[in-house]
Amino acid sequence: MIDVIDPATGEVAGRAPDTTREQLDAVVAAARAAQPGWAARTVDERRGYLRAIADVVEANTGELARLVTREQGKPLPVAVAEVAGLAYWLRETATLDLPETVNQDDGERLSITRHVPLGVVAAITPWNYPIGQLSFKISPALLAGNTVVVKPSTFTPLSTLRLGELLGDVLPQGILTVVTGGDDLGPWLTAHPGIDKISFTGSTVTGRAVMAGAGASLTRVTLELGGNDPAIVLPDVDPEEVAEQLFWAAFGNAGQICLASKRIYLHTAVYDRVAARMVELAEQVKIGNGLDDGVQLGPISNTRQYGTVLDLYRDAVDSGYDILTGGPLDGLFFRPTLIGNPPDDARIVREEQFGLVLPLLRFDDVDEVIARANTSEYALGASVWSADPEAARAVAERLDAGTVWVNEVMHLSPLVPFGGSKQSGIGVESGQAGLLAFTERRTLTVKRR
């Protein structure tokens, strides 16, 4: 068994099975055996199952959310919203269709292209949204007629394990199975010949390893990887209002969001006022155990991530950058930390912090800031902030990112595809395109004369 640590207290929050290779083989074999029967059901029947799963998730929101907070650290209301998001995604995904294209239908020939399931999907998730990340994977994978083997992060397996148990009462055996374990389990799953598709969310470094492992069997991959999202703030904004929006865009979930704003570019005309207000907010925010009432920011989620954040903070201190506020607290707690105008080649600007340290960067010229924003190797999300949405849009059109928002961030929908380009990933999740990523095209041709 593996101990799961509560990052707020350092106590053991629970234990998860350490799956052996033989046990994994048996799980994959059972998923393979169950898949043809699942695919043989009508799409409407599978839609019914998605809705039934959503009902179970909803009925158990309190228990699942508490587990998320205990293993991940986020405030309980945020965990409740995360669990509710899964139910919502399941129901909305159930409204999508698997289209059929009639290529030819005449006296000579009938030709139809359909989307058929791939087989067994491995869904590998990170620790920042253990339940939320499943929304983008299990909803479309199951609707398309695949069976799924879910592998949560070693740091946050408890809520996913409980979800798997609960869904065992609704779904036939072998349709969705959760496996947990140590560092070997991901590579075993990735290279497993019984897996037909890997839907992976995690870091870019691990994504490369996943793709290499998948190469041996030409297993299909969708990779949702790291980001270093720029937010560009034009001179006409209301500085106080935008400061508050950017504060949560950057520091929500203790900064541990792939689509968090990670580099804030402020026009010189508003730099001082936005920075001053963000400092105020950073010094007022309530930090603590996510189970306690009124807590707005929990701890950093695990010791490994804490090490990354602390290292970037120390590098900023050692380099003599202007620390406007912040720094480490006890345990895995960290204050929101703002770094005033570090150089573009600073590590805190170039690297993904995925935590509570944020660079505020000054700019004078829009062309120059677009070029600076686009130099990153990542291209996941980006945002532009302005009182004039059309002017912001003209800037947004020139940014390299899978999704660019104007005057908001992180608005996702089950009906809209999202994903990263460059080193932020391959493929998309959600929407029609996200559903079809769990299928193969199959063409049937009947010669009539």
* Burial bucket for residue 383 (CB in 10 Å: 0-12, 13-18, 19+): buried
| Residues in 354-413 at the binding interface with ligand NAD, rule: CB under 6 A | 354, 380
Q: Which of 47, 151, 197, 277 lies at the binding interface for ligand NAD (CB under 6 A)?
A: 151
Rounded least distance, CB 82 to ligand NAD, Å: 12
Q: How far apart are CA 291 and CA 297, in angstroms?
A: 11
Segment near ligand NAD (CB under 6 A); pick from 3-11, 199-207, 309-317, 339-347:
199-207
Which tokens belong to 380?
């996941």
240 is catalytic: no
Segment near ligand NAD (CB under 6 A); pick from 20-28, 33-41, 196-204, 365-373:
196-204
Residue whose CB is less far from ligand NAD, 231 or 380: 380
Task: Give residue 122's identity as a one-letter amino acid code.
Answer: A
Residue whose CB is less far from ligand NAD, 225 or 436: 225
Rounded least distance, CB 288 to ligand NAD, Å: 23
Please report how many Cα atoms fall inside a 13 Å half-sphere around the Cα of residue 241, on the Cβ side. Answer: 8
CA distances from 176 to 35, 115, 169, 277, 383 (A): 10, 21, 11, 47, 36
SS3 assignment, position 80: helix
Task: Report how far apart the first and last C-alpha atoms of the chain are (Å, whole number).
Answer: 64
Q: Are 195 and 149 contacting, i.e. CB atoms less than 8 angstroms apart?
A: yes
Q: Which of 73, 75, 194, 202 lies at the binding interface for ligand NAD (CB under 6 A)?
A: 202
Interface pattern 173-192 for ligand NAD (x via CB under 6 A): -------------xx--x--
Rounded least distance, CB 124 to ligand NAD, Å: 5
- Name the active-site residue from 224, 351, 352, 429: 224
Tell which residue, 352, 310, 329, 353, has the closest CA to residue 8: 329
Q: Which residue is nearest to ligand NAD (CB)?
A: 186
- Return all residues near 134 (Cβ < 8 A) that are at least 6 apart: 86, 123, 125, 150, 160, 163
Q: Which of 126, 145, 230, 340 lies at the binding interface for ligand NAD (CB under 6 A)?
A: 126
Q: Which of 119, 145, 227, 359 lies at the binding interface for ligand NAD (CB under 6 A)?
A: 227
Q: Which of 118, 144, 171, 210 lies at the binding interface for ligand NAD (CB under 6 A)?
A: 210
Segment near ligand NAD (CB under 6 A); pick from 145-153, 169-177, 271-279, 335-343:
145-153
Q: How far apart are CA 449 and CA 188, in angstroms?
A: 50
Give the chain's length: 449
| Residues in 264-323 at the binding interface with ligand NAD, rule: CB under 6 A | none
Rounded least distance, CB 170 to ligand NAD, Å: 24
Q: Which of 128, 147, 177, 199 lies at the binding interface for ligand NAD (CB under 6 A)?
A: 128
Which regions of 179-321 does DSSP assign to beta strands (E)? 197-201, 220-224, 229-233, 261-267
Rounded least distance, CB 188 to ligand NAD, Å: 8
Tell which residue, 304, 323, 305, has the closest CA to residue 313: 323
The 3-state secondary structure of 299-324 reads CCCCHHHHHHHHHHHHHHHHCCCEEE
Rounded least distance, CB 99 to ligand NAD, Å: 25
* Contacting residues toward ligand NAD, per CB under 6 A: 124-128, 151-154, 186-187, 190, 201-203, 206, 209-210, 224-227, 258, 352, 354, 380, 420, 425
Active site members: 224
